[in-house]
Structure 1
Amino acid sequence: MKLLIDFFPIILFFVAFKVWGIYAATGVAIVATIAQIVYLRFKNGKVEPMQWVSLGVIVLFGGATLLAHDENFIKWKPTVLYWLMGAALLLGQLIFKKNLLRSVMGAQLQLPDAVWLKLNLAWSAFFAAMGALNLWVAYNFDTDDWVNFKLFGGMGLMFVFVIAQAIYMSRYLPQDAAKGSAPNDAEAKDKQP
């Protein structure tokens, strides 16, 4: 359900673009993002800082697209968002000595400090690359191709990256959870009458 909520504005943007074009889709994306924030606020009682940033970016760049009637603004929106997320992770680590990725996921995962650092740097690099790739697609292909890339290419690359991160992290997860609670042979023999 959370995944659907997260991708709700992107999916509606895609559908609206295919039916009505880029400007209507931009308006739909703005309204959908506002609806997403309202829903999260009432459901969870709070909204994550990056979700507020995402709302600000879509309102700013989407609004500029509609006011100037220039689709280049909306094409910059994913890049700006990717670069802001990557910069937040990197600057948090380098300047504030705080691993923001660990702050978000640390309650669910127990990993060594060095692994958290590598994950944080990997995500920073991934976001930087995704921002650059978005601009390359936006300026080298037509708007229809860019919208397809935004939904399928962007989500596909994110999915592949998350799977790669999960495989990497699995090497460092505590093995007790994987073994379960079954007693080993020595414990079983000790318990026999």
Structure 2
Amino acid sequence: MKDVFARLASDFFSTIVFLAVYFATNNVLLATGIAIAGAIAQLVHSRIKGEMLGFMTWASLALVIVLGSATLLTHDLRFVLAKPAIAHFAIGAIMLKRGWMLRYMPPIVVQTIPEYVTLAGYAWAVLMFAIGAGTIAVAATGDIKLWATYVTLVAAGLKIAAFAIQYVLFRIIVTSRLRAAARA
């Protein structure tokens, strides 16, 4: 579990940096510049340590550098506001691959309820698309504080709630199936 959160923090490091600086300074351009610097520092750090970056980390770094640079050059906030939506759409598209979630599950879950894991994987894809669409809708209002709140609280809250619901349901279904198998 700790490893999953560490991977997520790594994948979204520059977004976290952007939001922290923005909330502290209320300056989007400064937050964008520091987020770009943080993304580059993350890349350099991983290269020095000889660590391999995952696809999502590379994608996040590329989006931060490209969209952040466009924001700084044009002073148009829409570029940086689009980054989380693009990331959620990309993640959702990846999650449409059948069985993607099986590698993240404990063996007991994979062996007992693989069909539910596959369905949950598709549900996660739908959630990512919905969060991406919500990000665009909120960004379209032009209210950066509302957008920042949505990206940090609503998007994260939905993912945490979905994870908790999935955990409880999987636990109930696995326990039920194991008990039924023991009785048979």
Q: TM-score range by the shorter chain?
A: 0.7 to 0.9
Match of 2:133 in 1: 132
Cα distance change of structure 1 residues 169 and 34 upon mapping to structure 2, 3 Å threshold: farther
Whether the aligned pair in 1 keeps the contact of 2:100 and 2:118 (CA below 8 Å) is no
Match of 2:15 in 1: 10
Match of 1:62 in 2: 68
Match of 2:56 in 1: 50
Choose 1 or 2 for highest CA Rg.
Answer: 1
Q: What's the C-alpha RMSD, in Å, of the aligned pairs?
A: 2.8
Paired amino acid for 2:137: W
Cα distance change of structure 1 residues 72 and 160 upon mapping to structure 2, 3 Å threshold: same
| Residue-pair matches, total | 171
Match of 2:118 in 1: 117
Bigger proportion of residues as helix: 2
User: How does the TM-score come out when normalised to structure 1?
Assistant: 0.75
User: How does the TM-score come out when normalised to structure 2?
Assistant: 0.78
Q: Deviations over 1:102-161 (max 9, x none)?
A: 2x4146542423112111111110000000010111112511221122222222222112
The DSSP-based 3-state class of the residue aligned with 2:53 is coil
Q: Which runs of 4+ in 1 moved over 6 A?
A: none
Paired amino acid for 2:69: G
Gaps of 5+ in 1: 94-98, 178-193
Cα distance change of structure 1 residues 39 and 165 upon mapping to structure 2, 3 Å threshold: farther
Q: Percent identity of the aligned residues? A: 26
Match of 1:157 in 2: 158
Match of 1:81 in 2: 87
Match of 2:104 in 1: 105
Whether the aligned pair in 1 keeps the contact of 2:14 and 2:64 (CA below 8 Å) is no
Cα distance in 1 for partners of 2:148, 2:92 equals 22
Whether the aligned pair in 2 keeps the contact of 1:87 and 1:124 (CA below 8 Å) is yes
Q: CA deviation at 1:44?
A: 7.6
The DSSP-based 3-state class of the residue aligned with 1:171 is helix
